[in-house]
Structure formats: C-alpha cells, structure tokens
Structure 1
Amino acid sequence: MIDKSWIESPIKSKEFSDGVVQFLEFAFSNASIDGKILCPCIICGFSVMCNRAEVFSHLLQRGFPEKYTYWHMHGEKHVQCNVESISQVQNESTRQYPMNDMLNDVFGIFDNNDPSNLPNNDNSRGSEERSQEETEKIKKLLEDGNQELYDGCTKYSKLSFIVRFYHIKVLCGATDKTFSMILDLLKDAFPHVKLPSSFYESKKMIKKLGLGYEKIDACPNHCMLYWGSSEDESRDKCKVCNTSRFMSNENDIGANVILDDQHRKKPKSAKVLRYFPLIPRLKRLYKCSKTANS
C-alpha cells in the first residue's frame, strides 16, 4: 500500500514535497502519455495534460486534492476483496456486464443485470416517466456495453473500448481523421473484433451517454452571441461592431446563393461558442452513487 498521509500535510512541509515526488514517480510510471499526465492540482482539476516539471510546480504552489487518495486517474488499481466468494461474484458480474455500473450512474435505472427486464418507466429512484424511444436507446447501450470486444475478451466490451479509445483521442488532440484511420487499421488487422463501422458510428454511440453541448454562433470580436432573442438569432452582422457573422470564402463562388427552394449552401460561422448546460451535469453528479456522497 502507498502511504498517502502526506496529502493532509502543509504544502510547505518536507513531507508534502516528498509525497509529491512519490506521486509523480507512480503517475509517470503508470499513466504517462507522451511524457505528460493529467495535472491533479486544484486549478487544473484533472483537465490539463502537463509534464513532470509543470505538475511538480503546480502541486507545490496550489496543493494536492485532499480527497484524491485513490489515484484511479493515474493508474492505481482497485484493491480486491479477500473474501473469495464475494470476489468471485464481483468478477463474474464484471465479466458479464462491464458497463452496467457506469450506465446505472448515468440513467439510474438498472436494478439487475438483465437487459430484457429494463422497464419502460422507471420508478425505482423517483425518476420521471421515460419515453419508449429513450428506453430503446438505453437497451442498445446495454447491449453494446455487455458485448465482448471479441470472443473470450473479459477486459473490454465494445462500448468500454470505444469510450477508452475516444478518451485517448481527446487527451492527445488527435483529429477525427486520425481516429478513423486507426479504427480502419484495427478492423483490417483484427476482423473478428466487434468495432463500429466508422468514426461517425463511434461518436453516435458515445453521444447516447448524454451530456452533449449546444453550438451558439458568436461575434469573432467577442461582442455578442447570436442567441437569446429571435432578433439576435437571425442577425447576419454583429449589432456592436457590424462584423459579419459568417466566414468569407472567396474561393467558394456562390456560397450564399440560393440554389432552389429546398437547397441552400449554408455559410460557415466565423466563431462558435460551445455551451455545456449546467443543470444536466448537476443531475448526473448527484445521481452517481460515487459522487453524491462526497
């Protein structure tokens, strides 16, 4: 077991600095990507990839999260239960339904591991009545979550592999084209592996987990958002600086010309704000059994 008592020590103490060095050795040995890890300091909050010197500096200046005593974001594994019978039950459940815990935290409706028993309406947690369409969507997620990546694979399901693959794409800043090319290579090299047919299908699968965002056109000079009132939403120019809402494309002749009554080439926005609604995220936060109690 790793001694983590230093986390509660004062930042300026030798115990804390020695503990940070211990953490860095562990993290860079188990979770390093291109010489960087997710910085856990209270400012970066596991959202920024930094090198060793940067993480060391951040932690000594800003502190280490007090409640981060299980370093799951940096490669630490769960400690297995010593009771053999309980361990066997947990391992069997994990092999058969590896994504149920995550989906349960997302939707809060799974009282057992049988997708066929998924109710159309959920009353177990006081949730509102669900539509048939949403129920079918969750059933499909369960199927993907329980489908082995290949015959005999117990570590990854189809869904868990794609979620992990997409996570690496985001952390490394890989393009959609890069994701597609690697996906095609994997399917070509391992034809027996159950993978989505394209990046588009992969993204559709992940989007079913919820917590998307809204795109809102913005003035390139940060004067206004084309959002709110119907008048602002329909504007073609900024009401403050009079800058065009759309990008100019001199090489694309007729970009704004109406081709016929049904077809019109939509101009590209000069700047787009991605809005992540807060309320759905708060609901998700307190629905999750692991975060609601912290």
Structure 2
Amino acid sequence: MDRSWMKKPRHTQEYVDGVNDFLKFACENCDTDSPICCPCRKCGLRKMFMPNMVYDHLISYGISQGYTIWHAHEERIGEASYHATDAQNNNEQINEGSGGMTTMLHDVFPMFDPQIVEGGLEIGVDAGEAGVQNENRQGSSERVNKFYNMLKDADDSLYEGCTKHTKFSAIVRLWNMKCLGGLSNSIFTELLEFVNELLPPGASFPKNTYEAKKYMNELGLGYEKILVCPNGCMLFWKDNKNLETCMVCGASKWKQKESIDDRSRKGKRSPAKILRWFPLKTRLQRLFMSSKTSSQMKWHAIGCSNDGVLRHPADGMAWKTFNSQHDDFASEPRNVRLGLSTDGLNPFGNMSISYNTWPVMLVPYNLPPWICMKRSSFMLSLIISGPSSPSMNINVYLEPLISELKELWEVGAPTYDVCSKEIFTMRAVLMWTINDFPAYGDLSRWSTKGRLACPCYMGNT
C-alpha cells in the first residue's frame, strides 16, 4: 500500500483518501465493533478509539511520520511497501533517524503493544512486565509511564518547526556517536552544552552526560556492579552481599587507604574491586523481541544449506553431534547456541601500563555468518577489572554468568517472539570457548606449562 500520502498536507484530497485506505486496512484486520489504536501525532498509539474518532484525529492532528509499518494494526514486517518518487525517498532517508524510533520502542517494550495486550498474551517478568489490560494502560505503573513518555519524545519534534529529528532520536544518535567514537564523559558534556546553545529556548534537551545516561537507561540492558575480594577469592553477591570481609583470606571489600576524615567527607566508602556484570537473559530476549533480528535467530535451522560445505558452525560435527545427543533442545530452533571468548588487554592500548582488564564476550551462533561475527552481535557479559590477570581464580568471576547459563539450560526463560507473536520458553547452551593457550589454561584449570602442557597428548607430546 502506498505510504506517500502520509507526508501530504492534511487538507489535500490525497491525504484524506490515504486516511480512508488506512482505516479500511485496520478494520479488515480487527473487529469492526472494537476500538483501534490511534496513530495520530497527539495520541501516538497510546490511546484507542472507534474508527470514526480515529478518522477525526488523523484529519485534525495528522498521522505520526514514524509509523510507516502498521504493526499495531496487524501488519507484519515485510508486507509493507513504500512507493514514492526519488525526492520522497530522499525525504524518507532524512527522516529515517527519527522515523524508526517509534518502531524500535515497540520492539523494546512489546508488553505495551496493543496486539499483545488484546491477544491476551502475557510476558513474564524476565521478558518485560506482565501484560496490562486496555482500560489500565494509562495506570500509575512507573514503567508504563516511562514508556509513554519516551513514545511521546519519539513522536514530538525536537523544537517547533523541526522536521528532521525528535528529542528521542537526537539523544539516541548522539549517544551512539559517543559509544562508537569513545568520547569521554567530559567531552560529551561539552558537546551537549554546545548543542543546547544552538537549540531555541523552548527545546528540552539533556545538559550533561549524567542526564543523557539517565535518559538512555530507560531503554534497559544496563549492568550490575558486584563487589569482589581484592585478592579474587570470592564475590560479595547473593547470600554474601552484606559481608564486610572475605571468608577465604579475611580481606576487607573496601579500600583501606582512605582515612576516616576522607570517608566522612565523601559520605561513602570505595570498594576495593568491582566486577561489572551484564545480565545475559534480557539481552537474548531482546533478540527475539526486535523485529530486526527475530527472524534471523532461526537461520541455522531454516536458512543453512545442507550441501556438505562448511560455512557456519551449524555445518560442523560438534553442532550435529550435540543435536543428536539432545533432541529436546534441538527440536526448538529458537533455542540459542553461544560461544564464549575472553582474554586480557591493556586499556586504551597503552602497553606500558601494568594493568590488565579481562572482558568476557558471548557470540550467538543462531544468526547467519554475515551477522553473528559483526561487532554489533557480540554480547559483553563481564568486565573483570585489574590490575592483574584473574588467572585460575577466573571461575570466581564467572559465577554470575555460569549461574545464568545453568538456569537457561535447565529451566529457560519466557520470551516473546515478535515474528510468531507468541511466548515461548527460550533455552541456551554454551557450545565452546574461544581463546588463546594461556587463557585456555585459566578457563580449563589445566597447566599449559611444563611436561604435560598439551591437554590432548599430555605425556606423549
């Protein structure tokens, strides 16, 4: 269906005809006696009315420019086609930065999608929040309000008269530049201050890095800080969270160099060592909740060619042997296969500094080979801070990840699949690790030095 009418002035006959075609499409895919989501600029899919009221809103306020795929009115990804002139295509590219944000928000928060709510589906706590009824969609739930506020920011212009960006799209674009360019917090704050000077007085925009980070945190996928024994003996986590000293070596979890006066001036003590943990479950669920990646997560089962050529780990013997040994796991193509990679590095590429940080990365191998090995597909799971290598104590730092992997293997996690529009129990397995020989020794607790250095041949090397 032609979408070019969406960019026409509201008083033109072409726009009015487009509105009628849209309402006809929406009514054909739902009960004509029930209300439908209103995609006008004022409502932004947040309210539901009868078709005649939606018509009045679309004529009075105009349709949201970002709503190019009518997912809230039963249109599947891939069914929409946009026919326009070259000039209109150029305008679409200009508005792409802000136009795709509404769709992205519905991918991030599928539990608020009207299709899911009306269909009676309920996502567990791990996949999001429980489904909410239509009459309670504007309740006092804090997360619901945050979602609606971000949806409003994704639809409203950055300032009056701006047609290229919304507040949400501008913050996301700048934050993406900060992450990809490695900008420090102080430089990013100066950049935001300069942007605020360029904007008109009525524009609402973050003034520093703290405000921007607080805004972006509402999208989820954050990390948790876990205090660690300075000698790497144990984690102050779960039942041991409130302990003050290590149960193995007796070391305090706080820095000891600060005086009492410094401590009282700062108001809190500084931890001796911190492990940063990025929970895996929510990140895997996001792959199925996003319309961009959900269909790709079954490529290994439905898109891989079985012609004897090794193009993907799914063509290898390890993968096929695992499938033959675990039929229940292999029967669900959406179950996730993971690879783990870790190694030490010197931060900022400065080899003269005696400091060693160990990032632990995970790779989802369900994706096709041209996607799974891209940087955007890698999942950072742990950051083990220095100053030295964790060595054989790396198993202590891996405890949160191993606990999560065990749960995903034995129990699974309820996950919403945006392609099939259903909840399924997602399970995951760690297929292999990728590392050099010294890191292999740490992960396997096998001595890679001396006469028995080779783990395969041992004494017969």
* TM-score bracket relative to the smaller structure: 0.5 to 0.7
TM-score, scaled relative to structure 2: 0.38
Match of 1:102 among 98, 104, 109: 104
Gapped runs of 5+ residues in structure 1? Answer: 1-80, 112-117
**2:146 is the alignment partner of 1:137:** yes
Partner of 1:84: 84
Identity %: 36
Deviation for aligned residue 1:256: 4.9
Deviation for aligned residue 1:228: 2.1
- Equivalent-residue separation in structure 1 for 2:119 and 2:109 (angstroms): 11
Secondary structure, in 3 states, of the residue corresponding to 1:84? Answer: coil
Match of 1:254 among 255, 261, 270: 261
The aligned runs of 1:158-169 (5 Å cut-off) are 158-169=167-178
Secondary structure, in 3 states, of the residue corresponding to 1:168? Answer: helix
- Describe the shift of the 1:125–1:141 C-alpha distance in structure 2 as closer, same or farther (beyond 3 A): farther
1:202-242 CA distances to partner (integer Å, 9 max, x unpaired)? 1221111111221111123322110021xx21222222233
- Equivalent-residue separation in structure 2 for 1:288 and 1:208 (angstroms): 17
Aligned-pair RMSD on alpha carbons?
3.5
- The 8 Å contact of residues 95 and 164 in structure 2, kept in 1 or not, is answered as no
- Equivalent-residue separation in structure 2 for 1:265 and 1:110 (angstroms): 40
Which of 166-175 and 215-224 deviates more? Answer: 166-175
**2:135 is the alignment partner of 1:126:** no
- Equivalent-residue separation in structure 2 for 1:191 and 1:220 (angstroms): 50
Partner of 1:185: 194
Query: Which has the greater radius of gyration?
Result: 2
Deviation for aligned residue 1:201: 2.2
1:148-186 CA distances to partner (integer Å, 9 max, x unpaired)? 223443332211221121122223332222221211122
1:245 counterpart letter in structure 2 = K
- Describe the shift of the 1:82–1:168 C-alpha distance in structure 2 as closer, same or farther (beyond 3 A): closer
Partner of 1:234: 242
Partner of 1:150: 159
Secondary structure, in 3 states, of the residue corresponding to 1:240? Answer: coil
1:185 counterpart letter in structure 2 = F
- Describe the shift of the 1:243–1:186 C-alpha distance in structure 2 as closer, same or farther (beyond 3 A): same
Deviation for aligned residue 1:88: 6.1
- Equivalent-residue separation in structure 2 for 1:124 and 1:249 (angstroms): 59
1:224 counterpart letter in structure 2 = M
TM-score, scaled relative to structure 1: 0.57
Partner of 1:26: none
Deviation for aligned residue 1:98: 4.1
- Describe the shift of the 1:219–1:168 C-alpha distance in structure 2 as closer, same or farther (beyond 3 A): farther
Partner of 1:214: 224
Q: Which has the higher strand share?
A: 2
Match of 1:176 among 185, 210, 222: 185
1:57-93 CA distances to partner (integer Å, 9 max, x unpaired)? xxxxxxxxxxxxxxxxxxxxxxxx77328x9699499
Match of 2:285 among 257, 265, 283: 283
Secondary structure, in 3 states, of the residue corresponding to 1:217? Answer: strand
1:235-256 CA distances to partner (integer Å, 9 max, x unpaired)? 2222223332112344x54345
- The 8 Å contact of residues 100 and 110 in structure 1, kept in 2 or not, is answered as no
Deviation for aligned residue 1:275: 1.5
- The 8 Å contact of residues 247 and 268 in structure 1, kept in 2 or not, is answered as yes
Which of 239-248 and 92-101 deviates more? Answer: 92-101
- Equivalent-residue separation in structure 1 for 2:279 and 2:98 (angstroms): 34
1:108 counterpart letter in structure 2 = P
- The 8 Å contact of residues 111 and 131 in structure 2, kept in 1 or not, is answered as no
The aligned runs of 1:61-72 (5 Å cut-off) are none
- The 8 Å contact of residues 255 and 266 in structure 1, kept in 2 or not, is answered as no
Secondary structure, in 3 states, of the residue corresponding to 2:276? Answer: strand
- Equivalent-residue separation in structure 2 for 1:93 and 1:155 (angstroms): 5
